[in-house]
């Protein structure tokens, strides 16, 4: 399975943008890049996903490098409620049933 | 709309006891998963199922068994609980075969083995 690498932790200030990086150098052409986040004492929740083009939704934006070996989750204006662990995972059409989460990035948002 | 429901939410077991965690989804999803999460760690895949009557091993399957007799239910069993199985267990499901499906998670089941 293709793996992802994320920093263990990041800090941000409230109302500032946050860029969360993810490296996936062994990504295959059929892998989609998914992001989830886990708030304290809750199950993970879906944030966004993409294949090649940058994606936007109400929660965040996903910027994907041209060679697809890395991606960045962008929170445009961090709030205290965005403090969570953020997971970047790859999902493949052929082996897509086996979904593996890494350690994720613990995001701290300072008031 | 219930989504993914896990029962029980909390359980304390003694070493050697057995128990079953139930995951139920009402969204007609094909794929279902069981993960465990130890304190300060990420999620690790225990077992998963790609459809009714099928199951497969994940990263950490030892000490667990699963069954998917009905499409909406995915059961995780511990035949002889060990303290190393103290963890929070999450169930998830996804509706599509392909790569774009969103995973829906339950709220978790906290298991303590004494």
Q: What is the dihedral of CA A71, A77, A79, A84, to 10 degrees?
A: 0
Q: What's the average model confidence in pLDDT over A97-111?
A: 86
- At residue A30 the predicted structure's pLDDT band, cuts being 50, 70 and 90, is confident
Q: Report the chain A residue with the minimal C-alpha distance to residue B105.
A: A43
Condensed to tens digits (0 to 9), the pLDDT of residues A60-95 reads 999 999 999 999 999 999 999 999 999 999 887 665
Q: Which residues of A touch B43 (CB under 8 A)?
A: 44, 87, 101
pLDDT of residue B102: 82
pLDDT of residue B96: 66
Q: What are phi and psi of A22, to 5 degrees?
A: -145, 130
Partner residue opposite A43 with nearest CB, options B59, B97, B107: B107
How far is C-alpha B101 from the chain's CA centre?
18
d(CA A107, nearest CA chain B) in Å: 13
Q: Are A24 and A88 in contact (CB under 8 A)?
A: yes
Taking only the tens of pLDDT, chain B with its 114 residues reads 579 999 999 999 999 999 999 999 999 998 999 999 998 888 999 999 989 999 999 989 999 999 999 999 999 999 999 999 999 999 999 876 655 678 899 999 999 999
pLDDT of residue A91: 81
């Amino acid at each position: 399975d293709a793996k992802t690498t994320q920093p263990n932790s990041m800090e941000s200030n409230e109302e500032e943008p946050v860029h969360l990086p993810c490296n996936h150098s062994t990504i295959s052409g059929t892998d989609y890049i998914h992001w989830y986040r886990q708030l304290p004492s809750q199950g993970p929740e879906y944030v966004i996903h993409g294949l090649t083009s940058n994606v936007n939704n109400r929660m965040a934006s996903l910027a994907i490098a041209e060679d697809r070996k890395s991606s960045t989750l962008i929170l445009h204006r961090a709030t205290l409620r965005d403090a969570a662990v953020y997971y970047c995972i790859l999902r493949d059409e052929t082996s897509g049933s086996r979904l593996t989460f890494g350690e994720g990035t613990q995001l701290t948002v300072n008031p | 709309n219930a989504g993914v429901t896990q029962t029980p939410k909390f359980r304390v077991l003694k070493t050697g006891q057995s128990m079953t965690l139930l995951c139920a989804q009402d969204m007609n999803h094909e794929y279902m998963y069981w993960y465990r999460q130890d304190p300060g760690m990420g999620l690790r895949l225990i077992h998963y199922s790609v459809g009714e009557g099928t199951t497969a091993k994940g990263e950490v399957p030892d000490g667990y068994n699963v069954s998917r007799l009905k499409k909406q239910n995915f059961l995780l069993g511990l035949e002889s609980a060990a303290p190393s199985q103290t963890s929070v267990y999450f169930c998830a499901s996804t509706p599509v075969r392909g790569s774009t499906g969103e995973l829906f998670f339950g709220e978790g089941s906290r298991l303590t083995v004494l």
